[in-house]
Amino acid sequence: MAAERDLYEILGVSRTASADEIKKAFRKLARKYHPDVNPGNKQAEDRFKEINAAFEVLSDPEKRKLYDELGADALRIGFDPEKARAYRQWRSAQQSGAPQGGFPGFEYGEEFDLGDIFESLFGGVGRARRRGRGPAGAEVSQRAGEDLTLEIEIGLREAVKGGERTIGFRRPGRCERCAGTGVLPGGGRGRTCPTCEGSGQARTSRGPFSFSGTCPTCNGSGKVPNACPKCGGAGTVLEEARITVKVPAGVADGSKIRLAGQGAAGVRGGPPGDLFLVPRIATHPHVRREGHDLYMSLPVTVREALEGGEVRCPTFDGDVTLKIPAGSQSGRKLRLRGLGIPSLKGGPRGDLYVELLIVLPTQLDEAARKAVAELERAYPDDVRAGVRL
């Protein structure tokens, strides 16, 4: 943690800087270290990333508040309000019970390295050990599962028509051996707490100070239950999950489909996280999309374009008969109303634009050549007369 730089320091602003000051400082630094300005400069690139990461936190009032309170630990817990709450409870328990031999006026948890405690608080084993040892310990031992995000590639047809698909992925699932508790039923007689070696008191030093207080690992009992051998005390093990999901018609590229409770399992009875599916719509060889509209090219013959007629046109809703107006030039767009992408919000569907592409025969016999020569006479003197740059 010593290696982690203070986010305010990274942006060169004070801790009381206003949102405006932060934005200004960010812009100035981002301009200076932007990769476009420093091509090939790895140091500038790292700095640029660092600046962006700092700004992401400090420009968000919620994240900034958590960062101000928890420091680098806020980054570690991913600004998860649930964890922050657990952390605060843990800390207030420490503050009320710990100060024997503490430094006068010293706030436990404010100054010393919280890394290890966080490991035990959120890493699984430690929290399982704390089971039933005082109100604070019991509270924080429960933990909600993480949210998971999964990108799925879907075809354009599926985006237009919707559908169902089965997805396989790995997620932390509940350890069945210990029923997600991290300790086996009965827990064994327990073993000596590795942090305090059984004394129930732990000393922590930071700089010139040394403090002693109730051991945070065993909450002062000196013993910790044996961890579940299957999950190592985490309460979760990686599992292969397969779920069938409905892809709604009209789903947008990069949108988020939330599947409640399909994320990582919670620990010690905590609720599971959610799974977010992010659809990526694959490019289609013949159809491109623009907003809710679709565009495709449809080959027609010279005669069809000249004389008009009815031709078959495939769409995602099945074949339709398309009326070609006589005298259609190449590139003419015909609109098929309502055959585009549906609106998720229940609005009207987009349209399908069919662009006519006049194709020429690749082989001409004598008669065809004569016909082409005849056709040529039908053009005005200069077909390019109107093209002037």
183 binds Zn ion (CB under 5 A): no
Binding span for Zn ion by CB under 5 A among 67-75, 129-137, 222-230, 331-339 = 222-230
Query: Closest separation between CB of residue 206 and Zn ion, Å?
Result: 19
195 binds Zn ion (CB under 5 A): yes
219 binds Zn ion (CB under 5 A): no
Count of residues that interact with Zn ion, criterion CB under 5 A = 12
Query: Of 22, 74, 148, 215, which one interacts with Zn ion (CB under 5 A)?
Result: 215
Query: Closest separation between CB of residue 227 and Zn ion, Å?
Result: 8
125 binds Zn ion (CB under 5 A): no
Query: Of 154, 231, 313, 354, which one interacts with Zn ion (CB under 5 A)?
Result: 231
217 binds Zn ion (CB under 5 A): yes
Binding span for Zn ion by CB under 5 A among 41-49, 101-109, 210-218, 246-254 = 210-218
Query: Closest separation between CB of residue 108 and Zn ion, Å?
Result: 16
117 binds Zn ion (CB under 5 A): no
230 binds Zn ion (CB under 5 A): yes
Return the residues of window 138-177 that contact Zn ion according to CB under 5 A: 175, 177
Query: Of 117, 148, 178, 281, which one interacts with Zn ion (CB under 5 A)?
Result: 178
Query: Closest separation between CB of residue 274 and Zn ion, Å?
Result: 23
267 binds Zn ion (CB under 5 A): no
Q: Which lies closer to Zn ion via its Cβ, residue 196 or residue 265?
A: 196
3-state secondary structure the chain: CCCCCCHHHHHCCCCCCCHHHHHHHHHHHHHHHCCCCCCCCHHHHHHHHHHHHHHHHHCCHHHHHHHHHHCHHHHHCCCCHHHHHHHHHHHHHHHHHCCCCCCCCCCCCCCCCCHHHHHHHHCCHHHHHCCCCHHHHHHHCCECCCCEEEEEEECHHHHHHCEEEEEEEEEEEECCCCCCCCECCCCCCCEECCCCCCCCEEEEEECCEEEEEECCCCCCCCEECCECCCCCCCCEEEEEEEEEEEECCCCCCCCCEEECCCCCCCECCCCCCCEEEEEEECCCCCEEEECCEEEEEEEECHHHHHHCEEEEECCCCCCEEEEECCCCCCCCEEEECCCCCCCCCCCCCCCEEEEEEECCCCCCCHHHHHHHHHHHHCCCCCCCCCCCC
Binding span for Zn ion by CB under 5 A among 44-52, 189-197, 318-326, 371-379 = 189-197
Contact set with Zn ion (CB under 5 A): 175, 177-178, 193, 195-196, 215, 217-218, 228, 230-231
